[in-house]
Amino acid sequence: MKNLEFRTAASARGGLVVMAKVPGVAAGTRVSLRDHAGRGRNGLVIRTSDDAVLVEVFEGTDDLDLERTWVRFLDEPYSLPVSRDILGRVFNGVGQPRDGRPPIVSGQRRDINGAPLNPAARAYPREFIQTGLSAVDGMNSLTRGQKLPIFSGGGLPHNRVAAQIVRQARLLGAATTEFVVVFAAFGVSSQDARYFQESFEESGALERLVMFLNLADEPVIERLLTPRAAFTAAEYLAYELDYHVLVVMTDMTAYAEALREVAVLRGDVPARKGYPGYLYSDLAEIYERAGRIRDRRGSITLIPVLSMPSDDITHPIPDLTGYITEGQIVLSRELHAQGVYPPVAVLPSLSRLMKDGIGGDFTRPDHPHVASQLFASYARALEVRGLAAIIGAEDLSESDRRYLAFAEAFEHRFVGQGEDEERDVYASLDLAWELLSMLPAGTLTRVSEDELAKYHKPAEAAR
C-alpha cells in the first residue's frame, strides 16, 4: 500500500480531504500528499472506511486541486528516529532537523503516540530537582517525575523563566551528566525561538538538550505532534539511556488552540469556550507521559508553560491542566510590574509532591518547616499590607510594621533574583532564615524551637 499513489480525492474543506475508494486504510496512518505543483504535504488518517478515508492535512487544503492531488498511505503512525545523537540537536515540530545538520541515522523509530503506562508500573516521584530559583526550590519544590506547570499570562516573562530553569536545573549529589533537558516550543515567534536557541548555546546547556521548535507561522496541526515527539525523545532518553530528563514545553495554550482549530474543522461537538470535550483526555495523554517507572533508573519531569487567556485561571486550559498536574507555579502581573523577576506569586502556587522531595533525606531537615513558615508569614504580611492601605502605615503596631518590611524584602530579595543568578537550595534556605529573622521569634510557630535557636538571628537582620 505504501508505494501506491491514489488520485481519488473526492472532496476537501478546511484542512480535511476525503479520499474515495481506497479500501483497507488503517486508522492513524501517516499520509503523504503531492499537489499539482509537486509540493509535498503531510497528513493523518482520522476516520476510515472502504468508501471514504478522511485525511487531516497539516499544511492545510488551500490551493489544492483535487484532480491533481496524489496521495500515498504510508502504513505507519508518525514516528521519531531515536539514538544517543539526538542530544544537542534542534528539530522541527515533527522531528526533522532544523539546525542544518544531517538527519538522525538510526534503525530505531518510535511511534510518537506511545502507549499508556501501566499505573501498577509507576514509581512515586521523590527526590529533589534544584532549579536555582528560590521561589521554586524553597517553597514549591520540584521532584523527579513530577508535572509542575508554570501558569503565566501575555507579556509576562515565562519564556525567560523557562529558559533559566533549563539552564540551571540540576540534581543534588548526582553528576550533571545524568541530567538532560528536552525543550519543546510550539506556536512561538521566531524572535522567541532565537532567544531560546542563543540562550542555551551561550550557557553551554545545548549539549545536554534536545530542542523541538514549531514556529507561529508553521503548520498548526504540526503543533499537535510536537509535544508527542518531544515525549518520545524523553522516554527514549529516560528509560533506555537511564537519564533523568526534564521536559519543558511552551506554550500549551498554543497547543490547545491548535486542537480546537482542528476539532472545529472535524465538526466535533464543542464543550467549553469552543474547546472539544476531549481536551482533558488529550492534555492528559501528553502530561501523563511524565513520571517514574519501577526498576528503571531514569525519570521524566515535566514543566509545561501556559499563558492564561486574560489571566483567567478558570479558563479551560489552565483549569484542565491543574486537574492533571501536581501543582502549579503562578506568575503575577503585579510583581512583574514592580520589577520583581521571576514574578512568582507564591500563595496561589503549589507543589503537591514537595513533601516527598525535600527534608533531611534530600535537601535540609528544616526545609519543610521553613517553607510552611514562609507561606504563613507572607500571608500574614499581605493581610497587614491590606490593613495599611486602609488605615495608613503609621497607625500599625510595631509588630505589623515588621511584617510590612518583611513583605517587601521577601518579594524583592527572596522571590526576586537575577536572570543569571543561580541560588542553590541551601543559599535559598539561608536567605529565608535571614528574612524570617526580621520577624519576632514568637510569631514563627511553624518551625521548631531547635530550628529557631539555630537559624533565627534577629541581630543580623537588624543590621
Positions in the binding site for another protein (CB under 8 A):
23-29, 46-50, 77, 113-125, 145-146, 239, 268-272, 276-278, 280-281, 284-285, 287-289, 291, 293-294, 296, 314-316, 319-320, 322-324, 326-328, 347-348, 350, 353, 355, 372, 375-376, 379, 390-391
Task: Write out the three cell numbers for 360.
Answer: 533531611
Q: Least CB distance from residue 204 to another protein, whole Å?
A: 33
For 363, phi then psi, to 5°, come to -120, -90
Distance in angstroms (rounded) separating the CA atoms of residues 442 and 452: 10
Q: Least CB distance from residue 53 to another protein, whole Å?
A: 9
- 76/450 with CB nearer another protein: 76
Distance in angstroms (rounded) separating the CA atoms of residues 274 and 408: 42
DSSP state of 76: S
- DSSP class per residue in 194-253: HHHHHHHHHHTGGGGEEEEEEETTS-TTHHHHHHHHHHHHHHHHHHTS--EEEEEEE-HH
Buried-exposed string 96-121: b where 16+ CB fall within 10 A, e elsewhere: eebeeeeebeeeebbebbeeeeeeee
Distance in angstroms (rounded) separating the CA atoms of residues 155 and 343: 12
DSSP state of 51: S
- 132/298 with CB nearer another protein: 298
- 167/315 with CB nearer another protein: 315
Q: Least CB distance from residue 312 to another protein, whole Å?
A: 8
Q: Least CB distance from residue 205 to another protein, whole Å?
A: 28
Each as own residue / partner, the long-range contacts of residues 400-409 (CB below 8 Å, 24 or more positions apart, any chain) are 402/438, 402/439, 402/440, 403/377, 403/439, 405/438, 406/377, 406/378, 406/381, 406/435, 406/436, 406/438, 406/439, 407/378, 407/381, 407/382, 409/435, 409/438
- 77/365 with CB nearer another protein: 77
Distance in angstroms (rounded) separating the CA atoms of residues 178 and 238: 10
Q: Least CB distance from residue 181 to another protein, whole Å?
A: 21
- 211/346 with CB nearer another protein: 346
Q: Least CB distance from residue 190 to another protein, whole Å?
A: 33
- 89/244 with CB nearer another protein: 244
- 113/203 with CB nearer another protein: 113
Q: Least CB distance from residue 50 to another protein, whole Å?
A: 5
